[in-house]
């Protein structure tokens, strides 16, 4: 028998070499890498550069405007015939020349942070390069940037101080010193306001006592309270000492009600002088606070007059342009008026030509801070003179004074560091657009920790049961698949569930009992008979499970039916207990007195943590199960062979061995939870919270408070705030922070796993 | 007809016992023991006494049920859901499989060593005293006493006495196996169950373990599963030959290896079969 031997090919096929697959897989890898790196680079660059102080530049336009700002960047845009209509005539003619008949061309525009919101109604502006009258902007050395508590940044030139004389060289020092004093003042006002809050809280607590007495005794106390208050006031006013307990209005009331009313009235009367003095103190401090302000000249121009000749001819030929002499100079009257002095001998002038017909003029009286003007020669004819609009700024409102064009590199680093410190540890200003993110960072951390506390026992115990106790079968597989699927449910669904179940049902139940949670309580006879029935069911379940007992090897599986019955009975008991709790007629909530203001019946820290715990539960269960499955069976057998019971084996052998895996899963869950935003919007995160969820006030952890959250902050700043454009840089910085937080968590997980693994699995052979 | 062929065809056979074995006092008596994995029967009517203070080796080809039998003695098979059994075993005079037997107490009366060393991920000291720890023993001096006694018993003391608090996993394979033996004898059991204790070890570690078994017998009754005929002949007093879930012959080792009653046993031992 002969067989044809196939001729061997000289070279192996392309498929065998696998070259294309290397390119394909490598290419995909490169694309994936570049996408991830691109995102990281964007967030890193934007996040890190936001707080970096940039120089302030002033540009003059063909439309005879002076536009100043911190240059944030420039981008390309489409210059088309339609957009031309927004431009002034000079610019338009230049743009038309550029277009040269085409319908549109690509051009660039500058992105400037202009600040001075109260004057211009904008924080940022775009400046098309086609409108610039000169390429080189002026960077005035003496420009100031004031970061303020309100209204954002103000850019301008200092002119004078309201409380003292200043000259050009010491004005910054004077303001810095005043800022230091003002800080003390601000702190004092804060302290006084805190006192006010404390008194308010005490009074509202006393009012709650009255409301509680009302609820307990089912009587109306408002009338008695009003009357008693009036009587007490009258007594007080007449100067006689009043024994509140014996007021006629309170006669006939029960002791607790009387005590509550007396408590409230006494508290109100006692705190009245205090309130008055605190308010007076605050008014005084506010007065003092308003006493010191800096007058700033902002680059918002007002026409103040005209000059017959342009600035380059104001001084006689040959004489220095920097020193004006009334004798030789032809200064326009408007400027002399604005300088407030007709004696021009001591006035020093500088002009800077900004375009062919545009000048920035600075005038200085002795060593006083210079005053700035803007002169424009219109169409070769008369010259218009513009003055800068003045804007007073309270020293106490200034957070930071920066002279952006005088900063050395080191100085810039200093400002950068100080801004970062404020960002990390400071309170938000301007509705979160400026200032610190501390409450958001703190809220995220506290919420994540509470969530971990909630998810950890549930997840680990459930996984332990599934892996160590439950006998494998279709039911267990079904449950396992369901848990894995839970991880894929959109997180907003968890948010909706959390809102409906935790906030409204459980929270409502805690606040105001079954009725508030939407359950009609049963009459007490019905409830008691149901209770008796449930008790019997529970006892029977107990008995049956004892009967079904541990399975005996020799009896086969005959008794497992009893086991199933016991299981069903236990489930029935559990369901019955829940129903009984929901229908209880004797419970009307722990916070009934506060109603209709919800305490737990709204989004708050506790429910946010619970919702996230539910969301991360699959992660924890799956990770724990995997960790448990990785424990070698030989260890379990060894332990059983030593006579250890199941729980002893789990506790002493299985759990310690699985600990690295469990902790890893747990930290991954934390990272997932920390980055989750959608459910947060519904169950407790708010854009601006005045109180922290964990602080130094008893009981320290306030589960019923709403809180700020980094992820939610990104969303609300970027898309919900009035001023998203101004908030954009902060969004990136917050994103960076969240990324760093999550990365840190993940790194901790990796490090922990590695170090624990080293401890448990050293050399085998 | 050849008995092995009969077994392969599913026919019951009569086990052959040597009188010297039956004459000994038994610490453990296996009586008509059957074991099923679900529907599949793995052990058929095993009856044999295990002599007190002696080493009994279980030999036979792979899958003959040696390990299953060994693991039935301390009811490790309970951990497998599908297992059901018939018959009984007696430890002393007490039933092992009667209902109401406390499995945990039962296991404390037997020590078991597995094929692969399985020290727990804890210190050498904690490994040895583990059986006492789970009983709640806290007395440091007593724990130390037991630890030293067991480690000396397992001939490991001199090698580890200076590093009792290092991880048990830091030892070599042979040392780990001796550590497991120390752990098995820490609770002072009546019977030691060794499931191929040397199969994962090199020859030097093996010979150390064999010396140890030699030393331990007398104090403990030992039941050992082994694949290694030489090992069985070197260390055991009695040898049981099993085939496909049935006991074929049980006798004194010297006679099993030199003049077995059955030709089938001789064939297996001399390597002509199996």
For an interface test with A, the pick among B39, B116, B118 (most A C-beta atoms closer than 10 Å) comes out as B118
pLDDT in tens, A604-662: 999 999 999 999 999 999 999 999 999 998 899 999 998 888 899 999 999 988 988 88
Q: In chain B, which residue's Cα lies nearest the Cα of A656?
A: B121
Whether A711 and A739 share a structural domain: yes
The answer to whether the beta carbons of residues B35 and B72 sit under 8 Å apart is yes
Please determine, for residue B95, whether its predicted confidence score (pLDDT) is greater than 60: yes
Please tell me the distance from the alpha carbon of residue B215 to that of residue B222, in angstroms, as a whole number. 11
Whether B79 sits inside 8 A of A637 (CB atoms) is yes
Whether A316 and A300 share a structural domain: yes
- Show the 3-state SS of B70-98: HHHHCCHHHHCCCEEEEEEEEECCEECCC
Whether A635 sits inside 8 A of B120 (CB atoms) is yes
Q: Out of A634, A645, A763, name the one closest to residue B116 (CB).
A: A634
Bigger pLDDT: B81 or A128? A128
**Residue A170 domain-assigned?**
no
Please tell me the predicted confidence (pLDDT) of residue A762: 46
Dihedral sign computed on CA atoms, order A528, A530, A535, A540: positive
Q: Out of A471, A555, A634, name the one closest to residue B81 (CB).
A: A471
Bigger pLDDT: A414 or B2? A414
Please tell me the distance from the alpha carbon of residue B17 to that of residue B24, in angstroms, as a whole number. 12
Whether A218 and A131 share a structural domain: no
- Does the CB of B82 have a partner CB in chain A at under 8 Å? no
Please tell me the predicted confidence (pLDDT) of residue A551: 52
Q: In chain A, which residue's Cα lies nearest the Cα of B182?
A: A642
Q: Out of B78, B121, B173, name the one closest to residue A553 (CB).
A: B78
For an interface test with B, the pick among A471, A553, A630, A643 (most B C-beta atoms closer than 10 Å) comes out as A643
**Residue A616 domain-assigned?**
yes
Please tell me the predicted confidence (pLDDT) of residue A347: 62
Question: What number of other Cβ atoms are within 10 A of residue A710's Cβ?
Answer: 26
Strand B191-195, strand B110-113: pairing: parallel
Please determine, for residue B57, whether its predicted confidence score (pLDDT) is greater than 70: yes
**Residue A395 domain-assigned?**
yes
**Residue A724 domain-assigned?**
yes
Give B173 to chain A, closest Cα distance, Å.
Answer: 5
Domain end: A145, A165, A194, which one?
A145
Whether A252 and A327 share a structural domain: no
How sure is the predictor about B1, in pLDDT bands with cuts at 50, 70 and 90? Answer: low
Q: Between residues 95 and 154 of chain B, which touch chain A (CB distance below 8 Å)? A: 97, 99, 104-105, 107-108, 110-112, 114, 116, 118, 120-122, 130-131, 133-135
Give B219 to chain A, closest Cα distance, Å.
Answer: 18
Q: Out of A556, A635, A765, name the one closest to residue B118 (CB).
A: A635
* Residues sharing a CB contact under 8 Å with residue A619, sequence separation 6 or more, in sequence order: A459, A487, A665, A668, A669, A672
Question: What number of other Cβ atoms are within 10 A of residue A628's Cβ?
Answer: 21
**Residue A552 domain-assigned?**
no
Whether A364 and A453 share a structural domain: no
Whether A638 sits inside 8 A of B180 (CB atoms) is yes
Q: Which residues of chain A carry a pLDDT beneath 50?
A: 319-324, 326-327, 344-345, 553-558, 762-765
Domain that includes residue A327, residue range: 293-402
**Residue A232 domain-assigned?**
yes
Domain end: A145, A173, A204, which one?
A145
The answer to whether the beta carbons of residues A313 and A332 sit under 8 Å apart is no
Whether A762 sits inside 8 A of B170 (CB atoms) is yes
Please tell me the predicted confidence (pLDDT) of residue A555: 45
Q: What would be the CATH architecture of the domain defined by B3-96+105-269?
A: 3-Layer(aba) Sandwich (3.40)
**Residue A152 domain-assigned?**
no
Please tell me the distance from the alpha carbon of residue A219 to that of residue A205, in angstroms, as a whole number. 19
E strand or H helix that includes residue A551: none
Q: In chain A, which residue's Cα lies nearest the Cα of B106?
A: A643
Range in A79-88, A658-667, B145-154, B241-250 with the lowest mean pLDDT: A79-88
Residue A641 with chain B: CB contacts under 8 Å: 74, 76, 107, 110-112, 114, 184, 193
Whether B118 sits inside 8 A of A632 (CB atoms) is yes
The answer to whether the beta carbons of residues A625 and A467 sit under 8 Å apart is yes
Q: Out of A553, A641, A652, name the one closest to residue B97 (CB).
A: A553
Question: Looking at residue A633, which CATH number applies to its domain?
Answer: 1.10.3720.10
The answer to whether the beta carbons of residues B177 and B197 sit under 8 Å apart is yes
Domain end: A257, A290, A323, which one?
A290
Whether A283 and A308 share a structural domain: no
For an interface test with A, the pick among B68, B80, B98, B104 (most A C-beta atoms closer than 10 Å) comes out as B104
- Does the CB of B83 have a partner CB in chain A at under 8 Å? yes
Q: Residue A485: is it exposed, middle or buried by C-beta count within 10 angstroms (0-12/13-18/19+)?
A: exposed
Whether A491 and A626 share a structural domain: yes
Whether A297 and A279 share a structural domain: no
For chain A, how many structural domains are there in total? 4
Q: What order do you get walking across the sheet with A358-365 strand by strand?
A: A347-355, A358-365, A371-377, A383-394, A293-307, A153-161, A144-148, A398-402
Whether A236 and A312 share a structural domain: no
Whether B107 sits inside 8 A of A642 (CB atoms) is yes
Whether A383 and A454 share a structural domain: no
Closest CA to A73 of A115, A127, A37, A121: A127
Rg (CA), chain B: 19
Please tell me the predicted confidence (pLDDT) of residue B217: 84
- Does the CB of B33 have a partner CB in chain A at under 8 Å? no
The question of ipTM being above 0.95 is answered as: no
How sure is the predictor about B94, in pLDDT bands with cuts at 50, 70 and 90? Answer: confident
**Residue A539 domain-assigned?**
no
Residue B76 with chain A: CB contacts under 8 Å: 637, 640-641
Please tell me the predicted confidence (pLDDT) of residue A242: 64
Domain boundaries, chain B: 3-96+105-269
Whether A625 and A691 share a structural domain: yes
Whether A692 and A738 share a structural domain: yes
Please determine, for residue B204, whether its predicted confidence score (pLDDT) is greater than 70: yes
């Amino acid at each position: 028998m002969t067989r044809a031997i196939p001729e061997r090919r000289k070279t192996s096929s392309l498929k065998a070499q696998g070259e294309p697959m290397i390119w394909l897989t490598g290419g995909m890898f490169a694309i994936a890498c570049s996408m991830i790196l691109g995102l990281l680079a964007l967030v890193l660059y934007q996040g890190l550069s936001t707080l970096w102080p940039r120089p302030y530049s002033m540009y003059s336009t063909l439309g005879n405007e002076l536009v100043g700002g911190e240059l944030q960047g420039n981008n390309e845009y489409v210059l088309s015939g339609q957009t031309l209509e927004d431009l002034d005539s000079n610019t338009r003619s230049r743009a038309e020349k550029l277009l040269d008949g085409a319908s549109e061309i690509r051009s660039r525009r500058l992105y400037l942070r202009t600040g001075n919101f109260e004057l211009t109604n904008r924080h940022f502006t775009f400046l098309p390069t086609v409108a610039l009258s000169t390429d080189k902007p002026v960077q005035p050395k003496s420009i100031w940037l004031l970061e303020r508590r309100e209204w954002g940044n103000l850019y301008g030139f200092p002119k004078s101080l309201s409380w003292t004389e200043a000259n050009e060289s010491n004005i910054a020092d004077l303001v810095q010193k005043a800022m230091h004093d003002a800080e003390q003042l601000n702190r004092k006002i804060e302290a006084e306001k805190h006192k006010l809050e404390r008194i308010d809280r005490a009074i509202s607590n006393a009012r709650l006592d009255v409301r509680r007495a009302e609820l307990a005794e089912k009587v109306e106390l408002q009338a008695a309270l009003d009357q008693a208050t009036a009587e007490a006031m009258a007594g007080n006013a007449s100067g006689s000492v009043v024994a509140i307990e014996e007021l006629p209005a309170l006669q006939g009331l029960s002791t607790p009600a009387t005590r509550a009313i007396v408590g409230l009235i006494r508290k109100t009367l006692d705190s009245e002088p205090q309130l008055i003095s605190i308010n007076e103190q605050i008014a005084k401090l506010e007065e003092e606070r308003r006493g010191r302000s800096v007058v700033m000249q902002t680059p918002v121009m007002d026409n103040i007059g005209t000059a017959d000749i342009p600035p380059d001819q104001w001084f006689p030929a040959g004489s220095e342009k920097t020193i004006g002499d009334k004798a030789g100079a032809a200064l326009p009257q408007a400027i002399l008026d604005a300088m407030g002095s007709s004696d021009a001998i001591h006035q020093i002038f500088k002009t800077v030509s900004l375009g062919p017909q545009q000048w920035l003029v600075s005038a200085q009286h002795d060593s006083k801070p210079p005053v700035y003007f803007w002169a424009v020669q219109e169409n070769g004819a008369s010259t218009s003179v513009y003055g800068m609009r003045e804007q007073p700024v309270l020293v106490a409102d200034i957070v930071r004074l920066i002279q952006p064009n005088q900063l050395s590199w080191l100085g810039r680093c200093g400002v950068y560091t100080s801004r970062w410190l404020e960002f990390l540890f400071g309170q938000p200003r301007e509705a979160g657009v400026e200032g610190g993110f501390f409450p958001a960072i703190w809220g995220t951390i506290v919420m994540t920790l509470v969530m971990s506390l909630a998810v950890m026992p549930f997840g680990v115990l459930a996984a332990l049961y599934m892996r160590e106790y439950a006998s494998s079968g279709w039911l267990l597989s079904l449950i396992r698949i369901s848990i894995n699927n839970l991880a894929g449910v959109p997180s907003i669904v968890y948010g909706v569930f959390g809102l409906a179940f935790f906030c409204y049902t459980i929270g409502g139940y805690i606040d105001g009992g079954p009725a508030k949670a939407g359950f009609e309580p049963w009459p007490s006879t019905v409830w008691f008979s149901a209770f008796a029935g449930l008790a019997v069911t529970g006892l029977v379940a107990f008995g049956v499970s004892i009967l079904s007992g541990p399975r005996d090897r020799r009896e086969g599986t005959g008794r497992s039916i009893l086991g199933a019955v016991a299981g069903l009975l236990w489930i029935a008991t559990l369901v019955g207990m829940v129903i009984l709790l929901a229908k209880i007629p004797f419970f009307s909530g722990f916070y009934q007195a506060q109603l209709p203001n919800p305490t737990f019946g709204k989004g708050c820290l506790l429910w946010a943590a619970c919702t996230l715990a539910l969301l991360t539960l699959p992660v924890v269960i799956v990770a724990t199960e995997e960790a448990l499955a990785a424990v070698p069976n030989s260890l379990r057998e060894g332990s059983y062979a030593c006579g250890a019971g199941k729980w002893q084996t789990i506790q002493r052998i299985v759990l310690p061995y699985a600990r690295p895996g469990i902790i890893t899963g747990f930290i991954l869950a934390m990272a997932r939870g920390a980055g989750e935003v959608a459910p947060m919007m519904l169950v407790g995160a708010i854009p601006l919270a005045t109180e922290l969820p964990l602080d130094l006030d008893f009981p320290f952890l306030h589960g019923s408070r709403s809180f700020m959250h980094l992820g939610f902050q990104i969303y609300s700043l970027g898309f919900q705030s009035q001023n998203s454009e101004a908030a954009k840089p902060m969004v990136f910085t917050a994103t960076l922070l969240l990324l760093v937080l999550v990365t840190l968590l993940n790194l901790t997980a990796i490090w922990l796993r590695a170090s624990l693994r080293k401890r448990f699995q050293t050399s085998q052979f | 007809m050849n008995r092995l062929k009969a077994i392969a065809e599913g026919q019951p056979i009569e086990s052959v016992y040597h009188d010297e074995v039956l004459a000994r006092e038994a610490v453990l008596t296996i009586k008509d023991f059957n074991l099923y994995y679900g529907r599949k029967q793995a052990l058929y009517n095993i009856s044999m006494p295990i002599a007190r203070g002696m080493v009994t080796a279980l030999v036979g080809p792979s899958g003959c049920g040696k390990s299953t039998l060994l693991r039935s003695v301390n009811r490790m098979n309970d951990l497998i859901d599908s297992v059901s059994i018939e018959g009984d075993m007696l430890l002393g005079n007490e039933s092992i499989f009667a209902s109401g037997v406390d499995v945990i107490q039962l296991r404390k009366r037997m020590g078991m060593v597995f094929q692969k060393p399985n020290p727990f991920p804890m210190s050498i000291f904690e490994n040895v005293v583990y059986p006492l720890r789970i009983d709640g023993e806290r007395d440091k001096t007593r724990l130390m006493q037991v630890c030293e006694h067991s480690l000396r018993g397992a001939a490991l003391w001199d090698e580890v006495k200076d590093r009792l608090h290092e991880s048990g996993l830091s030892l070599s394979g042979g040392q780990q196996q001796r550590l497991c033996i120390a752990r098995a004898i820490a609770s002072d059991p009546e019977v030691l169950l060794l499931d191929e204790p040397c199969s994962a070890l090199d020859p030097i570690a093996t010979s150390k373990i064999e010396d140890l078994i030699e030393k331990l017998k007398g104090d403990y009754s030992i039941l050992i599963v082994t694949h290694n005929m030489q090992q069985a002949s070197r260390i055991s007093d009695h040898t049981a030959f099993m085939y496909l879930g049935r006991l074929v012959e049980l006798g004194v080792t010297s006679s099993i290896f030199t003049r077995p009653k059955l030709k089938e046993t001789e064939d297996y031992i001399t390597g002509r079969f199996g």
